[in-house]
């Protein structure tokens, strides 16, 4: 899957590309407004990561929202995820109005970015893609149903969200903080108390195992969790 990363911070762009590369994404980084404009006109992407404040070749600052309008004008259906340092509701609303699919404010967790990109791509692609296969699990996104070896697994909403999140970050170490932020949002200050995810995780693992699935969620000591799936050829 092809991804255009429009982000002027080279270091951030490199991290994003490195993280997503393992997920069969091909990332094309671009660091300025003019180059980004050129690329969206000549190629199609599955998803575009778009930073709002972008330098132009003439040294001035360009507005990433202009790229959005251009895309809309050309009638392209590329998914767009805005990543902005501004975290302003106005920018968010304007971006979403101009056809962006989602908005993520900096600084973000890479697993969160991955989850959002995956969600956008799934939403954009129509047939056959509305389910995720992860090892012996099948997640039907449309109906929010998870099926294991022995059939349907009954999950709570949080457990389901957690599983989808893991499925978007297969074979990656995901920190507890990133999980908390994903499940409860950044606004709620949990005072570094991560007990709540522990309960959800324990129940999720129990349910998966009793449904005959492998216990794929591993604890990475002191760090977080990892959802491992052995890639089958």
Residues interacting with another protein, by CB under 8 A?
9, 11-12, 15-16, 18-19, 85-89, 105-111, 158, 172-173, 175, 177-178, 184, 186-193, 195-196, 198-199, 220-224
All residues at 6 or more sequence positions from 216 whose CB lies less than 8 Å from its CB, including other chains = 134, 135, 208, 227, 228, 229
3-state DSSP assignment of residue 96 = helix
Q: For another protein, give the closer residue by CB, 178 or 211.
A: 178
CB of 195 to another protein, least distance (A): 5
Shortest separation between residue 5's beta carbon and another protein, angstroms: 12
Task: Considering the complex, state which of residue 40 and residue 225 has its C-beta at the smaller distance from another protein.
Answer: 225
Q: Give yes or no for a contact between 120 and 178, defined as CB atoms under 8 angstroms apart.
A: no
Nearer to another protein, 11 or 231 (CB): 11
Contact call for residues 39 and 53 (beta carbons, < 8 A)? no
Nearer to another protein, 85 or 149 (CB): 85
Q: Which is nearer to another protein, 111 or 148 (CB)?
A: 111
Minimum distance, C-beta of residue 217 to another protein, in the bound complex (Å): 16
Nearest distance, CB of residue 172 and another protein, angstroms: 6
Residue matched to tokens 């995901």: 174
- Find the shortest distance in angstroms from Cβ 41 to another protein: 27
- Cβ neighbours around 97 below 10 Å, total: 11
Farthest-apart Cα atoms in the chain, separation = 61
CB 48 within 8 A of CB 80: yes
197: which 2 tokens?
A: 């995810």
């Amino acid at each position: 899957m092809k991804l255009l990363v429009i982000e002027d911070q080279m270091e951030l762009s490199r991290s994003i590309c490195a993280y997503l590369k393992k997920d069969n994404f091909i990332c094309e980084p671009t660091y300025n407004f003019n180059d980004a404009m050129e690329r969206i006109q000549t190629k199609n992407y599955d998803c575009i990561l778009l930073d709002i404040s972008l330098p132009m070749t003439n040294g001035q600052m360009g507005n990433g929202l202009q790229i959005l309008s251009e895309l809309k004008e050309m009638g392209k259906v590329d998914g767009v995820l805005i990543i902005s340092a501004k975290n302003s509701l106005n920018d968010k609303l304007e971006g979403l109005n101009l056809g962006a699919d989602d908005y993520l404010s900096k600084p973000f967790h890479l697993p969160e970015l991955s989850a959002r990109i995956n969600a956008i791509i799934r939403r954009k692609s129509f047939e056959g893609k509305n389910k995720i296969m992860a090892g012996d699990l099948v997640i039907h996104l449309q109906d929010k149903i998870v099926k294991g070896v022995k059939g349907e697994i009954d999950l709570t909403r949080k457990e389901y969200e957690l599983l989808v999140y893991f499925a978007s970050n297969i074979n990656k170490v995901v920190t507890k903080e990133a999980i908390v932020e994903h499940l409860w949002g950044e606004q709620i200050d949990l005072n570094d108390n991560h007990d709540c995810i522990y309960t959800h995780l324990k129940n999720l693992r129990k349910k998966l195992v009793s449904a005959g699935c492998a216990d794929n969620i591993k604890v990475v000591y002191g760090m977080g969790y990892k959802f491992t799936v052995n890639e089958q050829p």
